[in-house]
């Protein structure tokens, strides 16, 4: 909105300064003979005023939407224009070439994840977005979720705001309504080395980071999976996978200096299956999905160090410095695949909606409705 709004204001000021001259010009020509109106000079000057005025009205309309906004956009997948327009498919290696079914309808095959991009002309704030996907075996991930941790019956739920949970041990301490980690302290759950790694799980935490100089600060983790605070990102990683030389898989949410000394939340998901993946949401924003097929966390990785911990996950990594308010864990993926999603925009000029499939699937159509009152 910034550039368009600035242009609109500057143009408006220019018109206010010259408004008397404009009115006098129009009045003079209209009061004169019909010949004056037919004069080329009249139309040259009229055009000189009309073009920037039309541009001003255009910019003001799309920035302020005086009559509200209610538009529906459709991507007919496989059509000649499915990768262009205000709502379009981003090219992806996981999408096939355009195909046509026997009944004449077009489609593409999807194997993995692709992205539908919404770039509205209008500046939408707190607009309600509804997106629906049509096809076989495909679902959607919204760019932002309004997640309520109280809606889940967690296997483990730790409240760090009043006292150190009794089942945890360590040297962090409660201060000003949170458990404070001073950059030298940690907490862990005894006898948990063989827990939190035997299948899918979801982890939710709320924290305030206060050290913007060091990487690999563990917010919560289990040695073979970690939610980490870095200088420039928040990371969720799993590994090693399958064996002691197995791969790591990670997702990264980029941040800046303003991220520190403020409260945040994260939801991390490990979904082991025939086509397993990890998801990460930070402050409700989707950071991405990473597939790893049939790979699974190697249970023996970490040995006696593999207790569930907060503050530090390895003696070779940095301690976390900051506040921890809440941590929850459940042994399943708590997010259900949906073919229709709803969410509220946060003023983004561009929205990326993820389309996913766990096998080779058929993607026929996407519809998006945007409403702002």
Domain extent for 52: 2-64
Among 38, 64, 90, the domain-final residue is 64
Residues 216 and 359 occupy one common structural domain: no
Residue found under tokens 């538009």: 71
Give the distance from CA 175 to its chain's centroid.
Answer: 32
163 and 261 assigned to the same domain: yes
Q: Give the percent of the chain with pLDDT over 70.
A: 80
Do 251 and 285 fall within a single domain?
Answer: yes
Q: How far apart are CA 354 and CA 155, in angstroms?
A: 29
How far apart CA 229 and CA 215 sit, in angstroms, is 6
Identify the pLDDT of residue 347: 64
CATH number at residue 283: 2.60.120.200
What are the tens digits of pLDDT across the range 249-282?
999 999 999 999 999 999 999 999 888 999 999 9
Mean pLDDT of all residues in 186-199: 92
Please give the mean pLDDT across all residues of the chain.
Answer: 86
- State the average pLDDT over residues 341-357: 86
Q: Judge if 184 and 307 occupy the same domain.
A: yes
Same domain, 107 and 161: no
Are residues 160 and 233 located together in one domain of the fold? yes
Q: Using one digit for the tens of pLDDT, what is the confidence trace for 285-295? A: 999 999 999 99
User: Domain check: are 323 and 220 in the same one?
Assistant: yes
Number of domains in the chain: 3
Look at residues 17, 40, 64 and tell me which one is the last residue of a structural domain.
Answer: 64
Comparison of pLDDT for 94 and 58, the residue scoring more: 94
Q: Are residues 307 and 352 in the same domain?
A: no
Alpha helices (H) along the chain: 2-31, 34-38, 40-64
Based on the domain organization, do 136 and 224 belong to the same domain? no
Instruction: Please write the tens of the pLDDT for every residue from 112-142.
Output: 999 999 998 887 888 899 999 999 999 999 9
Higher pLDDT, 37 or 183: 183
CA distance 158 to 165: 6
> Within 13 A of 367's CA, how many CA atoms are on the CB side?
8
Above 60 in pLDDT, residue 143? yes
**Cβ(364)–Cβ(116) below 8 Å:** no
The reply to whether 75 and 128 lie within a common domain is: yes
How many residues belong to the chain?
A: 373
Q: How confident is the model at residue 1 (pLDDT cuts 50, 70, 90)?
A: very low
Q: Cα dihedral angle (147, 151, 152, 158), rounded to 10 degrees? A: 80
pLDDT at 301: 79
Verify that 77 and 224 share a domain, yes or no. Answer: no
Same domain, 47 and 21: yes
**Rounded Cα distance, 213 and 260, in Å:** 11
- CATH number for 78: 2.60.120.430
Pick from 17-26, 298-307, 332-341 the range whose average pLDDT is largest.
332-341
């Amino acid at each position: 909105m910034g550039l368009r709004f600035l242009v609109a204001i500057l143009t408006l000021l220019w018109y206010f300064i010259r408004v008397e001259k404009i009115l006098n010009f129009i009045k003079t020509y209209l009061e004169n003979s019909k010949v004056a109106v037919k004069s080329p000079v009249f139309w040259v000057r009229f055009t000189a005023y009309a073009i920037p005025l039309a541009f001003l009205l255009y910019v003001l309309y799309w920035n302020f939407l005086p009559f509200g906004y209610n538009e529906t956009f459709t991507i007919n997948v496989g059509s000649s224009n499915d990768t262009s327009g205000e709502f379009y498919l981003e090219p992806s290696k996981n999408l096939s070439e355009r195909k046509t079914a026997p009944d004449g309808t077009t489609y593409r095959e999807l194997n993995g994840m692709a992205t539908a991009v919404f770039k509205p002309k209008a500046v939408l704030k707190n607009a309600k977005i509804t997106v629906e996907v049509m096809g076989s075996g495909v679902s959607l991930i919204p760019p932002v979720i309004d997640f309520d941790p109280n809606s889940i019956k967690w296997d483990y739920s730790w409240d760090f705001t009043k006292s150190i949970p009794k089942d945890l041990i360590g040297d962090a301490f409660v201060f000003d309504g949170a458990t404070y980690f001073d950059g030298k302290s940690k907490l862990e759950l005894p006898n948990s080395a063989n827990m939190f790694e035997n299948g899918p799980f979801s982890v939710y935490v709320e924290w305030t980071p206060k050290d913007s100089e060091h990487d690999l600060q563990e917010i919560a983790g289990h040695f073979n999976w970690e939610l980490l605070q870095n200088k420039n990102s928040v990371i969720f990683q799993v590994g090693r996978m399958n064996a002691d030389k197995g791969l790591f898989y990670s997702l990264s949410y980029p941040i800046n200096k303003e991220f520190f000394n403020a409260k945040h939340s994260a939801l991390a998901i490990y979904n082991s299956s025939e086509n397993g993946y990890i998801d990460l949401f930070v402050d409700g924003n989707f950071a991405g999905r990473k597939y790893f097929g049939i790979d699974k966390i190697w249970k023996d990785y970490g040995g006696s160090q593999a207790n569930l911990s907060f503050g530090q996950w390895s003696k070779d990594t940095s301690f976390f410095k900051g506040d921890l308010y809440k941590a929850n864990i459940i042994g399943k993926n708590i997010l259900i695949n949906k073919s229709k999603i709803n969410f509220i925009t946060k003023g983004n000029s561009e929205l990326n909606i993820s389309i996913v499939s766990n096998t080779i699937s058929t993607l026929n159509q996407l519809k998006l409705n945007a409403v702002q009152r």
